[in-house]
A and B are shown apart, each in its own frame.
Chain A
Amino acid sequence: MTSPEENMKSIEAKVVVLGSQGVGKTSVVIRYVGGMFSKAVSPTIGASFFTYKMTLDGYRVKLQVWDTAGQERFRSMAPMYYRKANAAMLVYDITSLESFYDIKDWVKELRKNVDTPIAMCLLGNKSDLDSGRKVSTAEAAEYAASIEALFFETSALKNLGIEDAFLQVSKQLLKMYETYPNSGMGLLSSPQESTDIFSHTTQNVKLPSRTDSEKPPSQGGSNCGC
């Protein structure tokens, strides 16, 4: 088990999940990381931190996911999370036009404040509520194209589109990594750099409890086709 892994390059990428309150950011993340859905997800306070590991195209990818709070009062904290982010998941609720318009503010803010490359992915969540839909797929897709973001409609409830979205984002992150490996923009920390972050304290770089025993993502290397 060790030898092939040792040959693999490891990268760590920071993913920030943004969007208005109640659009289902936490549900999407918990569905992806924890593989479940809870009806009683309570509003996030500040931000929650999740990690997710996968192997993809010969890389060991560790996603550090910051699930941010959508409430207005936490707006001022957002820079802390997106500042060094490599990818942003912009989540809106397909039944709320306002949540979709809010995405534009987020994009504007990201453009203004982030000067490093950042992969963006637009997620229209709650796609199971098609009867109450207010944001058409075409409109969202067009918008996503205009900001050069990936676009998926997802349902945390029905588990639709989420794995694919994260997978495609990861692929894009790899592509970014290969394009600018040494850009020094904090894009993706190489293993050495990531050691540096933790070196204050000890050798224990990896969180001991959640290592590779975590279920390998089902989509692991199988979808490398595209």
Chain B
Amino acid sequence: MAAHGEADQLGTTSDSDQGELNETDAPGKSEDAILFASDDFDNLTYEGLAEEAQKPVQKGTIHAIVRQSSNDVDSRSNTPNNIDHDSSEVSAGEESVEETAEQAQITPRADNTEVPDTVDASRIEIEEEDAYNPEWKNQKKHVFILSASGKPIYSRHGKEDKLVTIMGVMQALVSFVQDAKDQLRSIVAGQHKFVFLVRDHLILVGVTRGMDSTQQMLLQLMYVYNQVISVLTHSSLNKIFKQRRNYDLRRLLTGAEKFFDNLLNLMDTEPGLLLTAVRCLPLDSSVREIIAQSIVQNAKLKDLVFALIIVKNQLVTLVRMKKYYLHPMDLHLIINLVNASESFKDAESWTPICLPKFDASGFVQAHVSYLDNDCEVCLLLLSVDRDSFFILSEAKDKIKARLIRYNALQAINASIKRTSYSTQQCGIPDLRHFLYKARSTAQYTSPELEAPYTEPAEQERLFGMYLYLHHRIHTSGRPLKILFHVGEYETLLGWVTQGFELYAVFGPLITKTSAIHAVNKLLRWIKREEDRLFILNSVTF
């Protein structure tokens, strides 16, 4: 309520002095954030990365939770830094069995299983490499993963085993520059940008002729790298390559290609990844409270770290263990997992997932289930106890029952059907679309895509404008606070303060004064709606 009064007050002041941007209190601001507030983009430079590479990865979190919560810290697992932090760490006990089996996985299998046929095939068909295929060449954005020794691991377009030559060239470029004690960052050739990221035995390469800046490409490569970690854990990845430098990682990533594909598609359409922020499903805060309470009351279990509900790439609610925050990049990996996996729709599932920002060295176990028959409302319970499936399954039944009893599931479904909101609702005539990120909560909001952005090509163009605006504002050499850009078909206004980032798209004829006026009005509208558009209270177990 206090928020409303404040907004109105600010409203009157800004109306009086038209033509000036008002650094209001950022709508959607909260001291009690559910997510780890991150400005990863600004920190994402090669210098920063080099520094980060020196630092140990985030690890030991899972171990700490397991140790804390198990009353009988068993002495067998008191060697936190020895061999593997991965799956066996997830459970506090019974490691002996796991370890042996794990060895079976991690230890690269005998040579005969090394996918020899594909290597032969590529040798024979070297003339038909995808790289000569015009369709392949015309793709707007390529992303490749290869091992430090040049073995193809993944390609967004084409078959990676038909790209051995080009991947060999990439590896040669990287190692040539490395030999000179230097680091290859990017190459710009005509319309194309080639961006390189070398991390832990992996080389990631992004090639774009779109609007993405080098730094934006680097962010995308970081996501892809995190996706690799999410599937394998940092510990296994290192262990594998320490044992065999030329290991064919595709073996362990079979079936995970769709996560990369899906993630890259999300990155081209979903601004949240660029903003390292998450969009929430609009809901009355009272309904959201009921949902969160349903989870707290029925899933207060000692090893449960995060419980969240996701609908159509949007967050409905998140309940977390008191000491731990979920990083938006990790949340995007979770969203990607749900988004890319049809198999969760068949039955309750129990799957390991590594959240690199939370703990890169081990898996948490995810209980994944859909709460409605249309398979849209997805509940995830993330636990560090790998034997807790049945307990979580029962908790899920109770959560579901309570959500039905309080009509919360109905409210979620209604919100899905209603779609988000139209730009018109903001009551600003010349405003076509916008992105607004509340920095303290790592959440963003934006209206539905409407005319003229209904066709995919137009949507891509819009996204390209946001990339441009974002890039101009965040250029590490010369960051801007405000940018007013008059383009051919639209006028753009970008504005970044301590509290928020706003990117707005107007019709081409708007004047600077009215754009500023409009933006002030928009902020007031968002402030009024903030309880519905953002999650402002963090609920903990």
Contact = CB atoms under 8 A, between A and B. Distances in A.
Interface of A: 21, 26, 30, 40-50, 67, 69, 71-80, 83, 109, 112-113, 197-198, 200-202, 204, 207-209
B251 interface: yes
B397 A208 contact: yes
A75 B397 contact: no
Nearest to A48: B347
Contacts of A74: 352
A80 B343 contact: no
B101 A76 contact: yes
A42 B342 contact: yes
Interface in B373-423: 386-387, 389-391, 393-395, 397-398, 401
A201 B348 CA distance: 19
A72 B105 contact: yes
B231 A73 contact: yes
27 contacts: A41-B346, A42-B341, A42-B343, A43-B255, A43-B343, A45-B337, A46-B366, A47-B350, A48-B343, A48-B346, A48-B348, A48-B350, A49-B348, A49-B393, A71-B255, A73-B253, A73-B254, A76-B106, A77-B87, A78-B101, A79-B98, A113-B100, A201-B395, A204-B397, A207-B394, A207-B397, A209-B397
B102 interface: yes
Nearest to A77: B352
Contacts of A109: 101, 104
Contacts of A198: 390-391, 394
A45 B346 contact: no
Closest 8 pairs (CB-CB, A-B):
A46-B351, A42-B342, A71-B255, A48-B347, A76-B105, A75-B105, A76-B102, A79-B101
Contacts of A77: 87, 352
A111 to B, nearest CB: 12
Contacts, number: 111
B301 to A, nearest CB: 8
Nearest to A83: B97
Interface in B322-358: 337, 341-344, 346-352
Interface in B225-267: 231-232, 251-256
Interface string B289-312: 000000000000000000000000
Given A44-B343, A207-B393, 18 more contacts: A21-B254, A26-B346, A41-B343, A48-B347, A49-B349, A49-B389, A71-B255, A72-B252, A73-B105, A73-B232, A73-B253, A76-B87, A76-B102, A79-B101, A198-B394, A201-B394, A202-B394, A204-B397
A112 B91 CA distance: 20
Contact of A76 (B94, B98, B255, B348): B98
A215 B91 CA distance: 37
Contacts of B352: 46, 74, 77
B346 A112 contact: no
A145 B439 CA distance: 65
Contacts of A44: 343, 349
A77 B352 CA distance: 8
A40 B342 CA distance: 9
B303 to A, nearest CB: 12
Interface of B: 86-87, 91, 94, 97-98, 100-102, 104-106, 231-232, 251-256, 337, 341-344, 346-352, 366, 386-387, 389-391, 393-395, 397-398, 401
B97 A79 contact: yes
Contacts of B386: 80
A54 B244 CA distance: 49
Nearest to B86: A76
B464 to A, nearest CB: 32
Nearest to A80: B386
Q: Name the prevailing secondary structure of the B interface residues.
A: helix
B382 to A, nearest CB: 12
Contacts of A113: 97, 100-101
Contacts of B231: 73
Given A72-B254, A76-B101, A109-B104, A45 B347 contact: no
A42 B342 CA distance: 6
Contacts of A71: 254-256
Contacts of B104: 75-76, 109
A50 B347 CA distance: 7
Contact of A21 (B86, B255, B337, B349): B255
B346 A72 contact: no
Contact of B346 (A30, A46, A207, A208): A30
A71 B253 CA distance: 8
A187 to B, nearest CB: 17
Contact of A201 (B94, B105, B391, B401): B391
B259 to A, nearest CB: 9
Contacts of A79: 97-98, 101
A93 to B, nearest CB: 16
B349 A46 contact: yes
A49 B251 contact: no
A29 B41 CA distance: 45
B97 A48 contact: no
Contacts of A197: 390
A110 B391 CA distance: 26
Query: Taking each of A42, A45, A201, A207, which has the highest tally of chain B beta carbons within 10 Å of its own beta carbon?
Result: A45
Nearest to A66: B350
A113 B398 CA distance: 35
A204 B400 CA distance: 14
A44 B348 CA distance: 11
Question: Counting chain A CB atoms within 10 Å of each CB, which of B94, B255, B337 scores highest?
Answer: B255
Contacts of A78: 101
Contacts of B350: 46-49
B219 to A, nearest CB: 25
Contacts of B346: 26, 30, 41, 48
Among A41, A49, A209: residue with most chain B CB under 10 A: A49
A26 B343 contact: yes
A207 B391 CA distance: 12
B538 to A, nearest CB: 25
Contact of A73 (B91, B97, B252, B390): B252
A114 B536 CA distance: 49
A209 B346 CA distance: 16
A45 B252 contact: no
Nearest to A209: B397
A77 B98 CA distance: 8
Contacts of B86: 76
Contacts of B344: 45
A80 B88 CA distance: 10
Contact of A45 (B102, B254, B343, B394): B343
Contact of A48 (B87, B232, B349): B349
Contact of B251 (A69, A72, A207): A72
A76 B236 CA distance: 11
B518 to A, nearest CB: 45
Nearest to A204: B394
